[in-house]
Amino acid sequence: KAGVTQTPRYLIKTRGQQVTLSCSPISGHRSVSWYQQTPGQGLQFLFEYFSETQRNKGNFPGRFSGRQFSNSRSEMNVSTLELGDSALYLCASSLADFGSGDEQYFGPGTRLTVT
Amino acid sequence: KQEVTQIPAALSVPEGENLVLNCSFTDSAIYNLQWFRQDPGKGLTSLLLIQSSQREQTSGRLNASLDKSSGRSTLYIAASQPGDSATYLCAVTNYGGSQGNLIFGKGTKLSVKP
């Protein structure tokens, strides 16, 4: 079974631009979560999607948004990029088996550099 | 607010040594705790998942324990190898929260010297 895939793997953008990152979950997984990883803050939760609905959102400004499609694929968008948005963006998927602890599987990440 | 702490931040050991990585969390109301491995510039690889009702999980040379009442977990690595060098992260899912919302520690960077 293929793992979680993320595209693109690397991106270089200029301040003020916007960017869209894509995540394809493991087949059969219904939940997709996004995380930002920086050296200073570590891994921080951005948002989670299940059945095309945002189920939870972390403490990030409205410039960060996302969506999920009917095939469970997800995209996240960052508008008006700032230097501080430079980070590794990780996507995770899970079965979303409610009522039990759900193992999260991560993709390889997208490295975003804002200049 | 749940906080996850990992000590030490970095650890260097000679090959063959058994070692223990520590993880503590402030709120014991969790669904589960998961240990991950991250190689430089890469994504996270899931190592072990411990449900809140379990005390430990084992996979090969790895053994993870969970003491929910004291807010602690340990990851035991037996007979360490240079290939074990990586950053190890623990993460919890809060009970009553979204199960896709993991709260991570800052990690322990492990270096195993040949």
**Cβ neighbours for A97, distance < 8 A, ≥ 6 positions apart:** none
The verdict on a CB contact (< 8 Å) between A111 and B45 is no
The verdict on a CB contact (< 8 Å) between A43 and B32 is no
A66: its two tokens: 């996302």
The verdict on a CB contact (< 8 Å) between B41 and A94 is no
Helix, strand or coil, per DSSP, at residue B84 = helix
Residue written as token pair 């809140």: B52
Q: What sign has the CA pseudo-torsion B92, B98, A105, A9?
A: negative
B41 CA: distance to closest CA in chain A (Å): 8
pLDDT by residue (tens digit) across A42-96? 999 999 998 899 988 999 999 999 999 999 999 999 999 999 999 999 999 988 6
Secondary element (H or E) of residue B60: none
Per-residue pLDDT at A95:
84
The verdict on a CB contact (< 8 Å) between A90 and B102 is no
What residues in B contact A100, CB-CB < 8 Å?
Answer: 31, 51
Per-residue pLDDT at A100:
53
Report how far Cα A103 is from the mean position of its chain's Cα atoms. Answer: 17
The verdict on a CB contact (< 8 Å) between B98 and A56 is yes
- With vertex at residue B46, the alpha carbon angle to CA B43 and CA B48, rounded to the nearest 5 degrees, is 160
The verdict on a CB contact (< 8 Å) between A58 and B101 is yes
Name the residue in chain B with its Cα closest to that of A108.
Answer: B43
Of A94, A98, A101, the CB nearest to B51: A101
The verdict on a CB contact (< 8 Å) between B34 and A32 is no
In tens digits, what is the pLDDT along chain B, a chain of 114 residues?
899 999 999 999 999 999 999 999 999 988 899 999 999 988 999 999 999 899 999 999 999 999 999 999 999 999 999 999 999 999 998 877 666 788 999 999 999 999
What residues in A contact B107, CB-CB < 8 Å?
Answer: 42
Name the residue in chain A with its Cα closest to that of B51.
Answer: A101
Task: With CA atoms as reference, report the closest residue to B24 among B69, B59, B85.
Answer: B69
Strand ranges in chain B using DSSP code E only, listed in sequence order:
4-7, 10-14, 19-25, 30-38, 44-51, 56-59, 62-67, 72-77, 86-94, 102-104, 108-113
